[in-house]
Structure 1
């Protein structure tokens, strides 16, 4: 009798619990799936323990046995061996347990960072693992721990075409009632049922309390069955190890509540052990399932618009129509900020539109740009544009940072991935990179909808305008423009470029990007010396100078004052060319020498209108 036959006979089936939790408790902290080959007895005995506890269905130890995840351990070429061994071990375990079944487990890959792995890679990886499991003769397929509904729907459709075996499809939630992209759980399960899943439900992340609360909103499916695999509890961190402290007796108390919500397949996820599964089994022995239930309708919260009254018109809107000048003034490396604030005031007096502040540029620590941005806004009265790097903050820190910026009334952001730590003052420091600039742009845009990355409501919408970096200093400009276009798809409103040091490059950028509606603030940076020019050209990623400029600056190697004047004149010449092609100008202040960008900003303001008129007529 198969899995679906048993369910159609009005039975509640019991699934197993966590595999990784037990292996971790035994001292294993590497690739759990590899243990199918190196320590098969451990895996076999865990299967046996769950079967002896009353499980009718056990899953293969293959949650992360795909090419993408095994690659982390150098095991990507052993996908077939690891999956095949896992099925054989599970089938061996059920030999003497009549009525028990083996499902081949495939876990989600994208988790809460969907942009990191293309769907085509997901499909290839999934097919490889699926075929390995099917060839060994599993009784069904379990798709579990999918945070990203698009990923689950994609692999479910592949699986449904390849097999008639029962398919269990389970999503994981960050918040009661919703997936991370705010799809209601009811809609998600209905979609999975429509794509051919035989059993739909929830697993991981939530314990019994919140999982039952979510299921209260879910109707009993018309053609599929409901499943639930709750976590044991929230883990604690004790002496360098994660520990779950849930009492199996609590699981026994909640078993009937799961039954009352229509659950027909009940197992466990992180933190659960054979004791938890035995508790479920004992509580539901000889208990009939429910076929009708009262569904609790959740009141949908309406996210109200931002209540901040002082949201200015986005910078990029001005740059679409007329000249807009922003200036970068890096936060100082030392604690004294007097010169920085004098520079900010001098630049404000020229009439620039915003002061941009880098986020620990070149991976070197500086005074927090958010703190300085708030001071510039309140004391100088100048609009701050804050850079945010993905290098220094994990997902928690990034979201907290955005919430703080919103409260400070800072609405202009440049989202960047960030220079690696090895180029900075602390080359041994960790680079976080939970997301790239693409993921950060997506996150900010989701904040503008009043929703955090995890899908939780923020209570109001933010009003961020999102800039992205653009590096035109590449051999093939089309590749850079393709990346720019992808950032627009992610939600970028405008772009700020690396400094450009030739009129030819400015023309190339103009023609390569003139089909794009998003404004580009073109970078202009005055050179200060021969050494400065050579350092930028040879050692700073993304910056290249022309040979004539290098020769010109080198000719004043022994005359620092004249070299600085020459750098300023070169910048003015580039500014002349840029103003004929672009509305947006991004002036970069070198070494806190704000007098240079003050002069350039004044120059641009003085000659801007005539340049603009010539651009309309001649370009």
Structure 2
């Protein structure tokens, strides 16, 4: 009897975890798939343990046996050998079984992986990697089906399913993974995902990983899907914890699975197994818990997809509207290092009176501890009516903290963010501190923009859409006559709305940036950085010690002469005005960086930018 027929006739019990079982019970923490070659007896024992526990379906030890993931261990040239060995071990385990056992060739998803090399893989590279692994699995001629599991990204799973269907007529099981019950992380409902996958040719559609029986059972309740769709579930043993060494552990009791087995059957599930933290004891519990193996048709409630009706917040982003046609000045301020904040807020009020279009607030620049910029931003907006643009670094916040910060900013009505990596922690007050870096700055941009759809990172509705505009940082100082726009194009693809550059001191760099944007047809607002010099010492420090900033010899010589003449401030302002003149020939946006909270200097430059609107530069 083939697998398709068996699924029609009875509920099948699948095996459980391979990786967590190897790690927890066998003390192995490496490329688990390579154990097919180096420790075949260990893998064979795991398969036999699940079969002895009553599993009708087992999966090959090939979840991450693709070129992209094996490259972490320099095993990318072992794809065929590892996958072939995996199938042979599963077949060998089945030969000793006292009941029919079906073997699924497992292929795992890539979109949920945190490895940056994998995140940067192109769709073509992902398809090639999947095809290579699939070919190796199918070449054995011993499989009963293909299992595509742990796919957080529905388009990736649909693409993988298309590839598999083009190469084989074997049944295909497709499992999405959810961060919250009933919804994928992009906001697609579980029901909608099931319908799309079934329509694309999946024989069985379900879910695995991340969530335990409680939440996955909820996900299958009242599903508005066709009654003909066959369903699968592979829950984790429960939510993970950590042991005294900080290692992830699962302690879900097998008896808990026994309680849920019959409930899953009554919900219309055809294939019931386990994922992370489950063991052969959990498989045996599923077998015991099933009151019958007869299939219970799930009830179709009809399918009526509802488009979200979330109106975005009424953010004005007036400075972005203005920069399209007029010269526009933003000013960067560092939040105070102490609680004597009167000077800071008085200076901000003076900047507002001078007509500054927005104040950008650094996030512990140079890794130096300051008052949280979100707190300062809230005071500027709510108490003084000033538009704040908040820098948000990936250095100081893990993925949880970043999402919390984003939600907090929206709650305060602050909708402008500059997404940056941040200066390395070792540069600052506490060189022993760590830089987090859960995501890159472009991924932070994408995360922020997801909130604009009214959908949180887990896919759940936020009950309101945000209206964030996201800036990206760019450093034109590394170039002279040409500028590579690859990083700009990448930022735009991730949701960047405008650019804020590092301070420039050479107009050749400004010309090069303008030319590059025009040649590549990149129409994006740009605020070019200008930092007025206050002394020769300041100029030499910036040139020699601040990464990403270089001053032409001519500028440094002028500041050296100004030191001798005793007019450093005046010359510094004059250089800044000359830079503003050159910038305004190409761009409408100027980003003024305040040196040492010298508000008087910056106000003079804000006025100078504003005057450009009265006497436009030719």
Say if 1:86 and 1:333 are closer, same or farther in 2 by CA, change over 3 A.
farther
Q: Is the 8 A contact 1:171 1:202 kept in 2?
A: yes
Counterpart pick for 1:125 among 126, 129, 139: 129
TM-aligned CA deviation for residue 550 of structure 1: 3.1
Q: Deviations over 1:504-525 (max 9, x none)?
A: 3323323333444431111111
Partner residue, 2:385: 381
CA shift digits 1:459-484 (9 cap, x unpaired) = 11222222222222243877643332
Contact in 2 for aligned 1:443/1:453 (Cα 8 Å): yes
Say if 2:400 is the partner of 1:399: no
Q: Which of 163, 170, 177 is residue 165 of structure 1 equivalent to?
A: 170
Are residue 86 (structure 1) and residue 89 (structure 2) matched?
no
- Tell whether the 8 Å contact from 1:391 to 1:418 is kept in structure 2 after alignment: yes
Q: What secondary structure, in the 3-state scheme, does the structure 1 residue paired with 2:489 have?
A: helix
**What's the counterpart of residue 210 of structure 2?**
205
- State the alpha-carbon separation in 1 of the partners of residues 584 and 499 from structure 2: 16
1:293 matched residue in structure 2: 299
Q: Which residue of 1 aligns with 2:250?
A: 244
Post-superposition CA distance 1:217-261 (Å, at most 9, x none)? 436657652211111111222323333232322222222222222
Aligned to 2:150, the other structure's residue is in SS state strand
Residue 586 (structure 2) aligns with: 581
Query: Which region of structure 1 is more displaced relative to structure 2, 350-359 or 99-108?
Result: 99-108
Where 2:605 maps in the other structure, the secondary structure is: helix
> Cα distance 1:137–1:417, how it changes in 2: closer, same or farther (>3 A)?
farther
Which residue number corresponds to residue 606 of structure 1?
611
Which residue does 1:110 correspond to in 2?
A: 111
| 1:234 alignment partner, one of 232, 239, 246 | 239
Distance in 2 between residues matched to 1:179 and 1:227, nearest whole Å: 16
For residues 284 and 390 of structure 2, what CA distance do their matches in structure 1 show? 54
- Three-state SS of the structure 1 residue aligned to 2:609 is helix
TM-score for both structures, normalised by structure 1: 0.91
Taking the TM superposition and a 5 Å limit, the aligned residue runs for 1:18-417 are 18-26=17-25, 27-97=27-97, 98-111=99-112, 116-139=120-143, 140-218=145-223, 225-239=230-244, 240-284=246-290, 286-295=292-301, 304-305=310-311, 311-417=315-421
TM-superposed CA distance for 1:537, in Å, is 3.1
Distance 1:40 1:506, change over 3 A: same
* Aligned counterparts of 1:28 and 1:479: Cα–Cα separation in 2: 48
In structure 2, what is the equivalent of residue 550 of structure 1? 556
The range that moved more, 196-205 or 487-496, is 487-496
Distance change (3 Å), C-alpha of 1:38 and 1:112:
closer
Change in CA separation of 1:48 and 1:512 when aligned onto 2, cut-off 3 Å: same
In structure 2, distance between residues paired with 1:477 and 1:259: 68
What is the SS of the residue equivalent to 2:299? coil
In structure 2, the CA distance between the partners of 1:392 and 1:72, relative to structure 1 (3 Å rule), is farther
CA drift at 1:64? 2.0
Distance 1:208 1:299 in 2: 26
Matched, 1:429 2:433: yes
Which residue of structure 1 lines up, in the alignment, with residue 456 of structure 2? Answer: 452
Residues 147 and 180, structure 1, Cα contact 8 Å, conserved in 2: yes
- CA RMSD between the two structures: 2.7
Shift of 1:302: 5.1
Output the CA distance in 2 between the equivalents of 1:476 and 1:260.
69
SS at match of 2:188: coil
User: Does the CA-based 8 Å contact 1:122-1:151 persist in structure 2?
Assistant: no
Tell me how far 1:554 sits from its aligned partner.
4.0
Contact 2:227–2:300 (Cα < 8 Å) also in 1:
no
- For the residues of structure 2 that align with 1:403 and 1:108, how far apart are their CA atoms? 29
1:285-315 Cα deviation digits (max 9, x unpaired): 75210235253879969554367x7x44442
Deviation at 1:555, TM superposition (A): 4.1
Which stretch of structure 1 is more off in the superposition, 419-428 or 118-127?
Answer: 419-428
Q: Which shows bigger deviation, 340-349 or 142-151?
A: 340-349
Aligned length: 609
Distance 1:299 1:199, change over 3 A: closer
User: Are 1:112 and 1:148, in contact at CA under 8 Å, matched by a contact in 2?
Assistant: no
What's the secondary structure of 2:329's corresponding residue? strand
**Post-superposition offset of 1:46:** 1.5
Q: Deviation string for 1:325-356 (max 9, x for gaps)?
A: 11001123445434433432332231101111
SS in 1 for 2:112: coil
Question: Normalization by structure 2: what TM-score?
Answer: 0.91
Q: Residue 303 of structure 1 contacts residue 459 of structure 1 at CA under 8 Å; is this kept in 2?
A: no
Conserved in 2, the CA contact under 8 Å of 1:197 and 1:224? no
- Paired residues of 1:334 and 1:366 also in contact (CA < 8 A): yes
Any conservation in 1 of the 2:482–2:512 contact (CA below 8 Å)?
no
- Three-state SS of the structure 2 residue aligned to 1:315 is helix
* Paired residue secondary structure (1:328): strand
Partner residue of 1:596? 601
2:157 and 2:35 map into 1 onto residues whose CA distance is 26
Q: Using the TM superposition, give the Cα deviation of residue 94 of structure 1 relative to its aligned residue in structure 2, in angstroms.
A: 1.2
Q: 1:23 to 1:581 in 2, by over 3 A?
A: same
Cα drift, residue 587 of structure 1: 0.4
5+ residue gaps, structure 2, are none
User: 1:579 touches 1:608 (CA, 8 Å); kept in 2?
Assistant: no
Question: 1:181: Cα distance to partner?
Answer: 1.0
- The aligned counterpart of 2:532 is 526
Q: Aligned with 2:419: secondary structure?
A: strand
